[in-house]
Homo-oligomer: A and B are copies of this chain.
Amino acid sequence: MSRAIDRVNGMSVFDPGCTSREVLEHATGRWGALTLVALVDGPLRFAEVRRHVSGISDRMLSQTLQRLEADGLVARTPQHTIPARVDYQLTDLGRPIAERVCDLIEAIYAQLPGIVAHQRGRQSGAPAPASEAAAETVSGPLG
């Protein structure tokens, strides 16, 4: 079970200097995960990605796509059509990573009823396995 904890061929996401940590942050950061998943079904234009990833600004989507392009996970392909259009698509490097993000999202969907029940239990003050312990923590409100 310690798979991802162990260094694999000298790589470790726990090492702040390892590229894998940087890629993990780009692939899972606030917008990176949703952007990768939006592209799983095939190439999309900028405006189409933005429509999928509700709430993202043009500037943030542009930055997110650029980071994913810099890592080689997404390719940007100008189409020589009139009017001109640019397609964004997963690369061979990006596809297996995007698919694992999909798996993660499916795991979250599967646990969501339990998560929501837990959150409601905390809010209503009803006893729940972790809520009692959380009430003892000293730090400020959750972000």
Contacts of A14 in B (CB 8 A): 34, 38, 52-54
Given the contacts A5-B37, A53-B14, A70-B134, A104 and B115 also touching, CB distance less than 8 Å: no
A63 pairs with B143, CB closer than 8 A: yes
* Residues in chain B near residue A30, CB distance under 8 A: 25, 29
Decide if B4 touches A130 in the complex (CB within 8 Å): no
Q: Output the residue of A37, A71, A73 with the most chain B CB within 10 A.
A: A71
Query: Dominant SS at the A interface?
Result: helix
Q: How large is the interface on A (under 10, 10 to 19, 20 to 34, 35 or more residues)?
A: 35 or more
Contact A13–B54 (Cβ < 8 Å) = no
A108 touches B20 (CB 8 A): yes
